Amino acid sequence: TPSSGEVQLTEEAVRRYLSRKPMTTKDLLKKFQTKRTGLSSDATVNALAQLLKRLDPERKLIADKMHFFLKE
Amino acid sequence: SSSEADEMAAALEAELNDFM
């Protein structure tokens, strides 16, 4: 498990967040900040885009903002 | 910084545009 404060951008981690509650792309990015993952911002954007396409989560417009979520 | 998150969110949504 990552040391304190460090997180890993994995499909499992994204799946866990989206199963918990609907999140916007910005919410997710805040969970995987570059200073916590050690990834560059481009790498983070590309990785997250690939993971989201693979997970193919549900989408929901909340307060005019697109949210992703995964039903259990 | 939230501006970094904003920029990255815009880039991410651009990546996902057909997906959104």
What are the C-alpha distances in Å from A10 to residues A32, A49, A64? 10, 12, 28
User: Min CA distance, A3 vs chain B (Å)?
Assistant: 22
Contact B16 A34 (CB under 8 A): no
In order, the DSSP letters of B3-16 are HHHHHHHHHHHHHT
A23, A67 Cβ separation under 8 angstroms: yes
With bands split at pLDDT 50, 70 and 90, how would you rate the model's confidence at A66? Answer: very high
Contact A45 B20 (CB under 8 A): no
Residue B13 has pLDDT above 80, yes or no: yes
With bands split at pLDDT 50, 70 and 90, how would you rate the model's confidence at B1? Answer: low
Q: What is the pLDDT of residues A1-29, one digit of tens each?
A: 656 678 999 999 999 999 999 999 999 99
pLDDT at site A1: 60
Residue A59 has pLDDT above 80, yes or no: yes
Three-class secondary structure of residue B20 per DSSP:
coil
**Amino acid (one-letter) located at B7:** E
Look over chain B and give the mean of its residue pLDDT values, rounded to a whole number.
87
User: Which residue matches tokens 């609907």?
Assistant: A22
Closest CA in chain B for residue A24: B9
